[in-house]
Amino acid sequence: MTRTPRKRGGKALKRGLSEEQIPVLICRDRTGNTADFVLEKADKAHISAALKPILASDAVLCTDSGKALGAVAREMGITHRPINLAAGIRVVAKVYHVQNVNAYDSRLKMWMQRFHGVATDYLPNYLGWRRLIDHSQNTLSPITFLSATLRLNYVQQLRVT
């Protein structure tokens, strides 16, 4: 790692994204399908590598007003609808908003507070765990959880024994 490790939990010294924090890109569609990516940097190259495999050519990308996200949309040739939350704009054309992502982000942060910070190496595991919980909502049975986290063969062996 290029930075010194921080103590578990607590707050970073600088606001926003800095070298003290690891950028995470959250993508959600209107139906609640979620994709998340732990990025090395929040720049055009890394965001583009994450989004290209999951976005269709006719997709409309609604984002906050980040410059890198706009550059990625231009590079991919998809429609970009930036939402300027700092100016108090929450919805554009009565259709485009980022409230779905903001709500998911809020739930993720509240859920992760109980762990008092997580190691960078395990961050993708925690994101997957939260994605599973959010996707299954109240239908998360123990066998569903095990089949999602363990190999399916192992769960089938548990049913037999």
The reported pTM is 0.77
What is the rounded CA–CA span in Å between residue 62 and residue 69?
Answer: 9
Nearest alpha-carbon partner for 91 in 79, 101, 83, 103: 83
Domains of the chain: 24-133 (3.30.420)
Name residue 91's beta-bridge partners.
97
What is the rounded CA–CA span in Å between residue 54 and residue 72?
Answer: 13
Q: For each of the chain's 161 residues, which pLDDT tens digit applies?
A: 677 776 666 677 787 777 778 899 999 998 888 899 999 999 999 999 999 999 999 999 999 878 999 999 999 999 999 998 888 889 989 899 999 999 999 999 999 999 888 888 889 989 988 888 887 666 667 777 776 666 554 444 444 44
Under a CB-based contact definition with an 8 Å cutoff, are residues 77 and 57 in contact?
yes
